[in-house]
A and B are shown apart, each in its own frame.
Chain A
Amino acid sequence: GAVVSQHPSRVICKSGTSVKIECRSLDFQATTMFWYRQFPKQSLMLMATSNEGSKATYEQGVEKDKFLINHASLTLSTLTVTSAHPEDSSFYICSARPAGGPETQYFGPGTRLLVL
């Protein structure tokens, strides 16, 4: 089955630092990857859609200068939270859609970010 990994699984950082989260599709190529944020006891909120080789499409209200997304290859997308603050603490989940189908998304295991 299609596997998506995320690294790191958990990160604690000081306020003001930047954190990079990697999302990899391990056994398939993904032209499109998605980044979600989930606060405790809430649903997943789509932050941005990342297409290989082009700029990410951000959802309304998501600061693209704060949440930098790079989709450098068909198997890797990165999310960098710049100048992180405590309110950025959340569970970040990526998903990937296989190139050429099927039209579904496979979710990574998530990264828990805690900003002190």
Chain B
Amino acid sequence: ELKVEQNPLFLSMQEGKNYTIYCNYSTTSDRLYWYRQDPGKSLESLFVLLSNGAVKQEGRLMASLDTKARLSTLHITAAVHDLSATYFCAVDRVGADKIIFGKGTRLHILP
């Protein structure tokens, strides 16, 4: 059974600091997703990682994937208040028809 674990589940940090959110998954996966969710809103797709060693960056967010370790990281550089949100990682397998979500990391960035 495919399981996804994120940590930390809650993170409060100061603006300007760097931090990393970790996402571990239990079995072989074909795709790793990162989503952002603002309160009361649906999901916004941030990154899709397809292969070992994949690294994608958008602004202050950078995601990477290590398929051998079954680990993805979402790194936040010089955090700003606007990045406060809940971040979900999710994985799926081709043909499996399901995306399995982690529990989410609630990120609160203090001005």
Contact = CB atoms under 8 A, between A and B. Distances in A.
Nearest to A45: B101
Interface residues of B, number: 20
Interface residues of A, number: 20
Contacts of A32: 97
Contacts of A49: 97-98
A43 B104 contact: yes
Most buried by B among A34, A42, A107: A107
List 9 A-B pairs, minimum CB-CB distance, nearest first. Answer: A110-B42, A107-B43, A109-B42, A43-B103, A43-B101, A44-B101, A107-B42, A43-B104, A93-B42
Contacts, number: 41
A63 B104 CA distance: 26
Nearest to B4: A43
A105 B99 contact: yes
B91 interface: no
Interface string A13-44: 00000000000000000001010000001111
Given A103-B31, A103-B94, A108 B42 contact: yes
A32 B18 CA distance: 39
Contacts of A43: 88, 101-104
